[in-house]
Structures are given as C-alpha cells and as structure tokens.
Amino acid sequence: MSSSRLDQIKEEALLAFRQAANSKDLYDLKVKFLGKSGLLTEVMKEMATLPKEEKPLFGKRVNEVKSALETAYGEAEEALKKQEIEAKLAQEELDITLPAAGRPRGGAHPIHLVTEEIATIMARLGYALRTGPQIEKDYYNFEALNIPKDHPSRDMQDTFFVDQNHVLRTHTSPIQIHSLESESLPLRVIGTGPVYRVDSDISHLPNFHQIEALCVDKKVSMADLKGTITYFVREFFGATLKTRFRPSFFPFTEPSAEVDCQCPICKGKGCSMCKQTGWIEIGGCGLVNPRVFEHAKIDPKQWQGFAFGFGIERMAIIKYGIPDIRLFPENDVRFLRPFAGESV
C-alpha cells in the first residue's frame, strides 16, 4: 500500500464531500470512505502487510487522513443542513398579504329574499306576517272560501288530496280564514309560504310560493285595494312600472280582478318575457266576499275587506329576469350564488 493511494482517497473524499447534493448523499459518502468496511478501513487492513518499520509512519498518516476526512465531513454536513433549512424556510414562507382561501358560505334562497322584501314593504302599511299549515283541512282551503264540495269552481285548482278531508293547500288564502277566526278586527295581515298544485311546466311548479294580503276594516273599497297594490308593486319593482286590473273571478272575492304589472324587461313595449303583451300577470285580488265573512261569523254589513294573492316565483322572475321557474327548486349554486351577493 502506497501513501499515494492514501492521498488519492483523501483527495477523492474531500472533493466528494464538497460536491454532495444533500445530507443523504453525504452520509452515503461517509459510509463509503469512513465506514466500518469503507476505503480507509481497507487501507488500514493492508497495514499488516507492510514492513515493521514502515507501520508507525503509515498508521500515523492514515489517522491524519481519517481526522481530515472527519473534519471535512462535519463541515460539509453543517453546510448542507444550513442549505436545506434555508430552502425549506423559503418554501414555507408565509405571505400574510395573500387573501385567505375563504370558506364556502351559505346564502338566503331568492324565494326567501323576495318574501322578506315583500313583508318589509307591507309592514310599512301595517301588515303583520302570518303562516299556516301546509296540510290543510278541506274546509279552510275550499269551503270557508266559498268553494263548496262538488262545485265547478274547485276545478280552478288541481289539488293534491291527502285524504277526504285534507289537502296540500292550493293557495295561501286559507291563512285568511285562520286570521278571521282568531284575530280581532280591524285586521291587516299577510300570509305566505309554500302551496301545492298538480301542475308542472316551464312556468308552473307543483310546489310554489304565494304571498297573500288581507285587510278588514270599516268602509274598505276597491280604491283602497288598487292603491295598496299599486304602492306595493311600485315599491317592489320600481317607481316607473304601471299596474293594471282586469275583471276576473274568485269564489272568495267579489268583485274580483287579476293584477298585471307592466313588463319590467321591455317597460311595456312587448318582448318574449311578456309574450309581446307588455304586461305580466302577478296574481289575483278583490273585495272579500260577504259569504267568507259569514263563514267566519263576521257581520258583512259592519265589516268589509280586500285581499290579494301573488306568486312569489313570478315576482322574482319578473324582478330578476329569470328564464325558467324550475331553477328555483333545483338548488344549483351557480343560480343561487348571485342572490347571496357572490359572483358566479
């Protein structure tokens, strides 16, 4: 074994330690050069074959190389660790100026928003909010509203019957009866909630929502009804839209009318939304039929009233230009998000 071989190992090891790319490679090099069966150990073993007088000097040289390599290893190890920590820190750097990732947020459904807006407008006129059962007695949904059994006017609404005496309410008008039976007069209430009809197409849902107003007082006239609806529609859709009343029929009001609102899309000129008529129907109204008062044991000679009932989906469709009523129950977040104040 020549000392030049020892020098060669030393040079090789020093270079390799310096060039090691990471701590793991460096450790492998340590094993290769300084390990139990590494190159230096091999050289040591060869010492046995040397002449006796050369042994001490050679042994000393091996030890020098060994400690030089250990020092070099220590330095390289420290340098690499520093490097690795710095790299890790750079990678994990926290940029506190970045906006937070955010969490998905829930939002109110447009039907809920429109209902709240309507209730707020009507509250300014002194109307209090009421609800009622969705599974309704036949009596409240029909009979008390002057729609007797076996009468043709029942066919105006295609009904889901639960049993002989119960129906999924077809309108919010039964809420009128509950109020007439249980509240004192004079009375101003709005009733709202889901209603059900056997009906389903691009502009009808089997389950939709209505908002109903009932005012009972002394000396209530069609003029009060028209004034209230006109105010309400203006507040809801904006000041420029006109309303129009067409004579109609409902068993529980007399006289009755249907309410049209000038199409907010074309402002009455005619477009696809209003089927070129310039008007969109939003619901029905009329003066409370004295027979309804009689059912509720109220004297129609003393009290008069008016009522109107509008479809909430219809109103939302007109206000927001929604193309298909079926979007409401689908719960597609792309449709719902803008109502929650978020971009799509």
Q: Does 173 participate in binding ligand PHE (rule CB under 6 A)?
A: yes
Beta-sheet pairing, 187-196 with 166-168: unpaired
Q: Which DSSP symbol is given to 98? A: S
Pick the binder of ligand PHE from 127, 293, 308, 328 (CB under 6 A): 308
- Residues 187, 215: contact at Cβ < 8 Å? yes
Measured between alpha carbons, how far is 289 from 332 in angstroms, rounded to an integer? 42
Q: Please report whether residue 212 would count as binding ligand PHE according to CB under 6 A.
A: yes
Per-residue binder mask for ligand PHE (CB under 6 A), 247-266, x = binder: ---x--x-------------
250 versus 279: smaller Cβ distance to ligand PHE: 250
Residue 249 or 335: which CB sits closer to ligand PHE?
249
Is residue 305 at the binding interface for ligand PHE, with CB under 6 A as the rule?
Answer: no
Q: Please, are residues 236 and 120 in contact by the beta-carbon 8 Å criterion?
A: no
Least distance CB 309 / ligand PHE (angstroms): 3
Q: How many residues bind ligand PHE (CB under 6 A)?
A: 12
Q: Are the C-beta atoms of 253 and 274 separated by less than 8 Å?
A: no
Q: Does 140 bind ligand PHE (CB under 6 A)?
A: no
CB-based burial, 56-86: b 16+ in 10 Å, e otherwise? eebeeebeebbeebeebbeebbeebeeeeee
Could you give the angle at which helices 39-46 and 23-34 cross, rounded to 10 degrees? 10
* Nearest distance, CB of residue 256 and ligand PHE, angstroms: 6
Query: 26 vs 307, which CB is nearer to ligand PHE?
Result: 307
Instruction: Determine, following the binding rule CB under 6 A, whether residue 284 of this chain makes contact with ligand PHE.
Output: yes
Q: How far apart are CA 132 and CA 201, in angstroms?
A: 27
CB of 205 to ligand PHE, least distance (A): 14
Residues in touch with ligand PHE (CB under 6 A): 171, 173, 212, 250, 253, 283-286, 307-309
